[in-house]
Structure 1
Amino acid sequence: MWTIKPWQKNKGAFTTIEMLIVLIISSIFMSLCIFLYQGVHINDKELEKDFWENFNVYWKHGIESSEYSGLRTYIYEKNNDIIFLNDGNYNKLRMPNGMRSQDNLLIIINNDGYVPPQTYEWYSKKTHTRYYLKVQLGGGTYKIYEKYYE
């Protein structure tokens, strides 16, 4: 024979208080996850901006190493990397996903740091941007122009 004591109940589910506590804890956890994820996420435009900042650093290094070594520096694309090659030493700069350069990209920095004036193109599918790298009259200076397309 079974006897049930009045202070003991046969509980088969959560009480309202237990359910509220679980919901509060899970909502705090989810809000923290969403907040932390937004801080980690980097959008495509920021990645491209970082690419051009790093490109500028490698560009200046290429000019300096050409002037110092007396050898040319070659800049070209290989497997979605931009390669800066001088005297067997090279630096690789990874392009953001969805970005590509013009076909047969080859920029030559002469042994005196001179770069012939020319315009080179990069395309970004993700931000719908066409970048024009226009090398100015000698001295190894350039400007980046952005043009958006649909």
Structure 2
Amino acid sequence: MKRSAFTMVEMIIVLGIISFMLILVIPKSTRTFQEWQQKQFWNELKQEWQLSQVRSQNHGEITDISYDQQDRAIIFCSKNHQRRINVPYSIRVREIKPRTMLSNGYIQPATWSFIDVLNHEELDLKIQMAGGGYRIEKKRIYSE
């Protein structure tokens, strides 16, 4: 009596093909997820920074901005608000000096340094006192 089923050889071939496809797809999806995490981090940082500016200029609130090295988080702390923004593991923090955004939106100038491991770039976040904003400068540190 002949039964219609997969033979052992057919099963091994199918598993081999699936394994090969996973080997090709997983690294790309991991990188895509890390890029998405970085984009989320920079967006959250920008939003929280702007929110702190609005709170300081409209409500006269002082905001302390610091970095918790243990939890890898940038902390925005004012009288009525606290927010932690987690730094993704694909970004290394080289230096973040604590800063205080004053009630008029003024903040002392500084440079925060990051390393983007995915894109092999050094990122300098330059805090500017005029208007309390910042800009990001990118420098390629090595190529593959």
Give the TM-score, by structure 2 length.
0.71
Larger displacement relative to structure 2 (38-47 or 127-136): 38-47
Gaps (5+ residues) in structure 1?
Answer: 1-7, 9-16
> 2-side partners of 1:34 and 1:127: how far apart?
22
Cα distance change, pair 125–67 in 1 and its aligned pair in 2 (3 A): same
Query: Hey, what does 1:149 align to over in structure 2?
Result: 141
Match among 70, 74, 91 for residue 64 of structure 2: 74
AA aligned to 2:93 is: R
Larger displacement relative to structure 2 (84-93 or 133-142): 133-142
Cα distance change, pair 33–123 in 1 and its aligned pair in 2 (3 A): closer
Highest CA radius of gyration, 1 or 2? Answer: 1
State the 1:145 CA deviation. 0.6
> 2-side partners of 1:149 and 1:39: how far apart?
22
Gaps (5+ residues) in structure 2?
Answer: none
> 1-side partners of 2:81 and 2:139: how far apart?
34
> 1-side partners of 2:79 and 2:126: how far apart?
25
Match among 103, 107, 114 for residue 99 of structure 2: 107
Paired positions, count: 134
Higher helix share: 2
AA aligned to 1:102 is: E
1:52 aligns with 2:45: no
Query: Hey, what does 1:5 align to over in structure 2?
Result: none
Cα distance change, pair 89–101 in 1 and its aligned pair in 2 (3 A): farther
Cα distance change, pair 126–35 in 1 and its aligned pair in 2 (3 A): closer
Cα deviation digits, residues 91-139 of structure 1 (max 9, x gap): 0011122511416x21221112222333232345665432211123421
Cα distance change, pair 45–129 in 1 and its aligned pair in 2 (3 A): farther
